[in-house]
Amino acid sequence: MQRAPTIQIGTVAPKTATVNDPAQPGALGPARPLAPSELRYLVVATQREGNRTFARAVGELGLTPSHAEILVVLEEFGPMSLRDLGEMIVCEAGSPSRIVDTLVQRGLLERGVDPNDRRAIVITLTAEGRGKLPALRRIEHEMDGATADQLTPTQQVMVAGILRGFLAGTETGEALERRFARRPKATPRTR
Amino acid sequence: MQRAPTIQIGTVAPKTATVNDPAQPGALGPARPLAPSELRYLVVATQREGNRTFARAVGELGLTPSHAEILVVLEEFGPMSLRDLGEMIVCEAGSPSRIVDTLVQRGLLERGVDPNDRRAIVITLTAEGRGKLPALRRIEHEMDGATADQLTPTQQVMVAGILRGFLAGTETGEALERRFARRPKATPRTR
DNA sequence: TCACATTTGATGTTACGACATCTATTATAA
DNA sequence: TTATAATAGATGTCGTAACATCAAATGTGA
């Protein structure tokens, strides 16, 4: 309602209202005390907004946010088993069999066999899958730009640090740690 | 993996690892620079963890997080139309017809007619629905306590302020504003 | 070796989230 | 009035999240 109802497809929607002035690090509205559960709902709402924007952007490529996450991880870390993949992503905690299956059927991924373990599969990007990555990288960059329009670098680092602490010891927290802590460009993981 | 695999049902799961020391306001790990999209995934993961914990807790009452949100809002603000309800909640943006329908079928809500507008319905808590609220309040309190174990009040207010700024102008942001800004205890909204 | 547990991945189920579409009712304007 | 738009709500669809169960392959210890 307050926001422009239509977003320009292909780019990340610009915000029409900006409460925080990015020129002032740490600047925000008056520090209202927190109502019960308010923080949790703020996190929920933030995730929803981010996911919807991301979904519209990658939807242009015929992908969903989960698809995008998997493609990016596979390009970043190289081929891996379903189990290892599950330990690197936030979507589909546990085994992402079905999402991988969808991507295999669309020709973006390949299911290979592990010669050392006939239970395991080795998931590899196909050429077509790899072809999605420049656009995905561009979208990620645009999303980060939209975040930068709303939050100062100081605020971003502050929130990230707090959330990392909150997630310490959780499965998804460990997944993000594996994924973002050290960034081994195209280093296939083995276990 | 790092976390205890079983949680005691009926209470919020305790964290086994604590990186941040709540005794030191603002204390966090080293301020690692942000990788692309990392902040978004941190928010996603945080929302997932919170939602799973909340889901297990309210699951004891036979409810889902969405159910809980609606019951709490209706008790807080009194009977309202589906449209107004949709503008107060984060779950099911748009019209929560189906979730309300489920709750009506379970006898927790009642669908009434609006004498002034035959299109509209008036959603009211039944006695049984109202009976869930003490337990829901207790669960919310436990969730807040679990948050307090992980984040200092300073950190909480900081994150909340930043997220409010980020959500300014969005539908869900406005919904939370309506819901948490001023807290009119049991004041039925009319429009 | 053999019984048993563990691991890997697939699959079934329920409930949401987001989007689109549809009907009934009400509002608006020529 | 009457045509048209706007609104309230219901409903259909697709993909995901979380949970559970299952089969096949592998690991383990007696």
pLDDT digits (tens, 9 = 90+) for A103-156: 999 999 999 999 999 999 999 999 999 999 999 999 999 999 999 999 999 999
Directed axis angle between helix B153-167 and helix B171-180, to 10°? 130
Shortest Cα distance, chain B CAs vs residue A139, angstroms: 10
Indicate whether B78 pLDDT > 90. yes
Q: How many CB atoms lie within 10 A of CB B94?
A: 10
Per-residue CA distances from A178 to A140, A174, A175, B103, B123 (Å): 19, 6, 5, 41, 46
Pairing of strands A117-125, B109-114: unpaired
∠ Cα A36 B53 A99 (to 5°): 125
Which residues of B are less than 8 Å from A40 in CB distance? 50, 54, 143, 147
Concatenated DSSP letters of B70-88: HHHHHHHH-SB-HHHHHTT
A166 and B150 within 8 Å at the Cβ level: the answer is yes
User: A97: which residues sit within 8 A by CB, 6+ positions away?
Assistant: A82
- Residue B83 tokens read as 């449209």
Please report, for chain A, the start and end positions of each structural domain, with discontinuous segments joined by +: 48-130+151-180
Judged by DSSP in three states, A65 sits in: helix
Question: Is any Cβ of chain B less than 8 angstroms from the Cβ of A4?
Answer: no
B120 touches strand D (CB under 7 A): yes
A117 touches strand D (CB under 7 A): yes
DSSP state of A120: E
Whole-number pLDDT of residue B94: 62
- Selecting from A20, A137, A167 the residue whose C-beta is nearest the C-beta of B42 gives A167
Question: Is any Cβ of chain B less than 8 angstroms from the Cβ of A23?
Answer: no
Judged by DSSP in three states, B89 sits in: coil
Closest among A37, A140, A107 to B136, alpha carbons compared: A37
Find and list the nucleotides of strand D having atoms within 7 Å of a protein beta carbon. 7-11, 15-20, 24-27
Find and list the nucleotides of strand C having atoms within 7 Å of a protein beta carbon. 7-11, 15-20, 24-27
Phi, psi of B114 (to 5 degrees): -95, 115
B7 touches strand D (CB under 7 A): no
What's the whole-number mean pLDDT along residues B1-9? 38
Q: What is the pLDDT of residues B39-54, one digit of tens each?
A: 999 999 999 999 999 9
- B59-133+150-191 maps to which CATH number? 1.10.10.10
Cβ burial B77-86 (10 Å sphere, 16+ → b, else e)? bbbbbbebbb
Question: Is any Cβ of chain A less than 8 angstroms from the Cβ of B21?
Answer: no
Whole-number pLDDT of residue A164: 95
Q: Which CATH architecture has domain A48-130+151-180?
A: Orthogonal Bundle (1.10)
Q: What is the pLDDT of residues B97-140, one digit of tens each?
A: 999 999 999 999 999 999 999 999 999 999 999 999 999 999 99
